[in-house]
Amino acid sequence: MVTAKEVKEFLEKLAGLLHENVEELARLDGQSGDGDLGASMDSAAGAMAETARAEAGADLGMLLMKVAMACNKAAPSTMGTLVSSGIMAVAKAWKGKEQVGDAELAAVPRQFADAMMARGKAQVGDKTILDALVPMAEAVETEFAQSGDLAAAFAAGAEAAQKGAQATCGMLAKTGRARWIGERARENMDGGAALCALVARGIL
């Protein structure tokens, strides 16, 4: 079972992970975007961890709703908005709960993917974070349904996210600044997909 304590610990570790990878995310985003992905996600993760530390309540839904608002405020960018939408989706699913089990944790990648698609209107194949996140969600769901092993499910998810991120190399972007760059950005890995793969590895 996961409680507010574990969620807070995860957010602290996530903040550290993203801080360590600011330059790499900035480099990838700079190839096709405006290069602010690293700094934006670093700020968002720091704000989320700080907000979680200050929350005394045990309601996971309330905790994550406050975390989502902190993310949106600290990173008022496209990715910040998408991430906060994903967190809000999980917050709604966990509303009123003081602990969640493995099945609820295994559902998180799908909840994130559905929320991001609804908010951003992108689809798999558009060269976005979804090209890593949707395969991750599918892999987690499949492995968890077969084995009931959460660790194995997220290991499969991390592998799928990495392959999905790599597969964005060669895609023609259909959204964002990379769309206007066109062919010049085709061989670049999408920064959002790389972010997803990074977080997926961090979850392990």
pLDDT of residue 10: 97
Residue burial 19-32, b: 16+ Cβ < 10 Å; e: rest? eebbeebbebbebb
Question: What's 35's DSSP letter?
Answer: S
The two tokens of residue 168 are 């964005």
Question: What value does the mean pLDDT of the chain take?
Answer: 93
3-class secondary-structure state, position 163? helix
pLDDT at residue 84 is higher than 60: yes
The tens digit of pLDDT for each residue in 3-40 reads 999 999 999 999 999 999 999 999 988 776 677 899 99
**Cβ neighbours around 129 below 10 Å, total:** 31
Give me the domains of the chain, ranges plus CATH numbers: 4-203 (1.25.40.340)
| Average pLDDT for 65-69 | 98
Report the half-sphere exposure of 97 (CA within 13 A, side-chain side). Answer: 18
Q: Which residue has better confidence, 119 or 31? A: 119
